[in-house]
């Protein structure tokens, strides 16, 4: 029994993988690895964006605090 049949793959898709010389087990492992690579990349991208947003907010808050202190000193 072929693993392609076991997983219910269409015949065209199974033929494509077989022409590339990739077995069903290898294809599954590659797809799982690809899933985790994409998941890792998205997670790191989100964390990096969040850090940039927090950095920008901190700079704006510091700027606002400095403006308030300057206004208080002028009084």
CA separation for the pair 9, 18 (Å, rounded): 12
pLDDT band at 68 (very low <50, low <70, confident <90, very high): confident
Residue 39 exposed, middle or buried by CB count within 10 Å (0-12, 13-18, 19+): exposed
pLDDT at 57: 92
What is the domain extent for residue 19? 3-74
Are the CB atoms for 4 and 24 separated by under 8 Å? yes
Residues 8-33 have pLDDT tens digits of 666 777 777 778 888 778 888 988 99
The answer to whether the predicted template modeling score (pTM) of the entire model surpasses 0.85 is no
48-58 pLDDT per residue, tens: 999 999 999 99
Domains in the chain, number: 1
pLDDT at 4 over 70: no
Residue 50: DSSP 8-state:
H
17: burial class by Cβ within 10 Å (0-12, 13-18, 19+)?
Answer: middle
């Amino acid at each position: 029994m072929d693993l392609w049949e076991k997983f219910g793959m269409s015949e065209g898709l199974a033929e494509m993988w077989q022409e590339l010389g990739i077995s069903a087990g290898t294809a599954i492992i590659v797809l799982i690895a690809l899933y985790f690579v994409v998941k890792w990349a998205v997670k790191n991208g989100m964390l990096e964006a969040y850090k940039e947003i927090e950095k920008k907010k901190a700079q704006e808050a510091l700027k606002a605090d400095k403006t308030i202190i300057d206004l208080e000193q002028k009084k």
